[in-house]
Amino acid sequence: MHDKESWAWLIETIEERQPSILINLGDYGDNACVSSWRNGEEQPLIDEYRSIEEGTTELNDVSPKSKKVLMLGNHDERILRPEFAKLSDCLDIKKHVRPLRKWKVIEYQEDRGHTYTFGQITCCHGFSVQLSTIKREAVDLGVPYGLYIHAHTHKPEVPRKIMLTISTSIPWWYANVGCLIDFAKAKKQYMKKKNDSHWGHALIYGWASTKRRHDGQRNWEAELIKRKMAWD
């Protein structure tokens, strides 16, 4: 369900910048055929995997030297849920999308052992939709003076320091990388249920010292690069 124009923009940006670490924050596939919200119009799982294989091959080709990480999201995780336990081993994306063998794949669980970290940066698909709980995630999963990057709400947000009150902050930051979903298709499935006008196509690019994690100062910089929002 990726937007083709924004996917092309993503590929072009990655090829131009050649990051040392390339991180996909999840919901790479929708797995809608096993969703409790399915409506009969879902793409067959094999077609999803073929599309993901094409996209992964393209990413591997345009940034061959980067370390590559896939954080599974809640949509990716659908196929691995307990009710599909007898099938999930056969349907696991890691086994069916061969280009992912070049990627480190991290399962979707809310603990530090299932995040990806480098220096003071912590990456995770995310679990919360409310700002208060997103802030809690940033503190629970991240580190002081660090940046917690998530994508669960599909809402691009620049790195922000956590404010407890108007005048009181703590040294944790959070950011949202957005999504690449095809808004025209998503409107039929998701946006008719709620106001998702803040969804957007974006990525986050930056640097971090991998040698400093708990030294009482911020050792990273990151910028949100946004292409378009849902109603642009």
Mean pLDDT per 10-residue run, the chain (232 residues)? 91 97 94 66 81 96 97 88 75 88 95 96 95 95 96 95 93 96 75 71 96 87 95 78
CB atoms closer than 10 angstroms to residue 49: 19
* pLDDT for residue 207: 96
Span 170-192, pLDDT tens digits: 999 999 999 999 888 777 666 55
Whether 67 contacts 117, CB under 8 Å:
no
Domain ranges of the chain: 4-229
134 close to 154: Cβ distance less than 8 angstroms: no
* pLDDT in the model for residue 41: 64
What is the rounded CA–CA span in Å between residue 46 and residue 42? 11
- Architecture of the domain made up of 4-229: 4-Layer Sandwich (3.60)
pLDDT value for 87: 75
Q: Report pTM.
A: 0.92
